[in-house]
Every structure is written in C-alpha cells, then in structure tokens.
Amino acid sequence: MNNFVTVGMKFPEFRKKAVVSIEKDKEFKTLGSEDLAGKWSVMFWWPKDFTFVCPTEIAEFNKNYANFQDRDTQLIGASTDSEFVHLAWRKDHNDLRELKFPMLADTSKSLAEELGILTDGEKVAYRATFIIDPQGIVRWVSINDLGVGRNVAEVLRVLDALQTDELCPCNWTKGQETLTQKKAKEAASAA
C-alpha cells in the first residue's frame, strides 16, 4: 500500500454497480459518491466472495443494520468481485439472502486502489472499514489482515463517539459522559 486514504481526507469519488436485492429484475443499482452526500456512511470491504471469514462479518453487519439506521448512517459492503458474483453468493449463502444493504462491486479495483487497500500480489481488498461524515470526509479507518474478522460493535462505538462531536475517553460507549460534558460540569460547579 503506497498511498492510502486516511482520517481527514475526502472519500474518493466513485460510481459502481451494487447488488441490492435477489428479486428478479431488481438485483442491481448504480451507487456513487452522490449517494453518500449529506449522510453518515460506513463502507466496509472484504477480500473475496465465497470465502469463510467474510460471510461472518457481512452477516454481523446485517444483524446490526437497525443500529446503523438508528444513527442515520448508511451501510455499504464492498469487494473487488463483480455484481454477478455478489448476486450468486447472496443466492447461495443462507446468511446473505436477506441483506438490507448494498454489496458494491469494484470490478476494476479502481476504488480499492485509490483507497490504498489492495494486497500485493493477488490485489484483493484488505478488511477495511471507513466511517465517512456527511461532508464526505473520512473520520475513521480500520484495516485488518485477511484472516482476521472485524468487530462490528467497535464500528458502532466509534460511530457513536464521532457523532457526539465531543471528546470521548478510552472505552467510551454511548450513554456515558464525554470529557466535554465532564469539563462543563466541573466548570459549572467551580463557578
């Protein structure tokens, strides 16, 4: 990975096919940068369809879909496989049939390359997760090696912290006091 998109950078412009359904004639939709505008977004990448760790992650994101919706955040899964491979996998795998979010197909590998998340050699995507704010700025990036699945609860925790727009201490979770709130209380009690 020579160049990569990281925190504080604009998420790259893109236009890609995605699988949004397994219903005949409603399977595909084109998604692009304009679909991210004005909304919080989480885009997570996996290396290959029809593999072993990937469906566990995709299914866990799907189980938490309502949690992302509660945070007004759109969820997009992505890999360098084609939309046709995505569709076949969704139809074949019980845990993927009822996905509520799109599976983006970066067949040209152009977006994954621009993000800097392609492996050497085979050029598949690492397990990368991007949290993008409503202005299109990357606010969090996490990249796991190919053999290690990510923690969806941690993605939600970080999203919650970012959406407070306040200082959040180590291990902070939604509902706990932020450092900003604590300082404001201390200042008020000292006055």
Predicted confidence (pLDDT) per residue in 13-43, tens digit: 999 999 888 889 898 999 999 999 999 999 9
CB atoms under 10 Å from CB of 26, counted, come to: 9
**How do the domains of the chain map onto residue ranges?**
15-165
Q: Which of 31, 43, 54, 128 is catalytic?
A: 54
Residue 50: what pLDDT?
Answer: 83
Quote the tokens at residue 173. Answer: 């979770």
Q: What length does the chain have? A: 191
| Farthest-apart Cα atoms in the chain, separation | 66
pLDDT of residue 98: 83
* Chain segment 126-167, per-residue pLDDT in tens: 999 999 999 999 999 999 988 888 899 999 999 999 999 999
Check if 54 is active-site.
yes
pLDDT value of position 88: 84
Nearest-CA neighbor of 52 among 120, 153, 148? Answer: 148
d(CA 20, CA 29): 7
Using the structure block, give the residue that is written with the tokens 């912290």.
161
Predicted confidence band of residue 1 (pLDDT cuts 50, 70, 90): very low
* pLDDT, average across residues 99-114: 94
Domain 15-165: CATH architecture, name and number where available: 3-Layer(aba) Sandwich (3.40)
Confidence (pTM): 0.91
- 78 vs 148: which has the higher pLDDT: 78
Q: What is the mean pLDDT of the chain?
A: 90
- For 56-69, what is each residue's pLDDT tens digit? 788 899 999 999 99
The pair of three-digit structure tokens given for residue 143, joined into one six-digit string: 């990249």
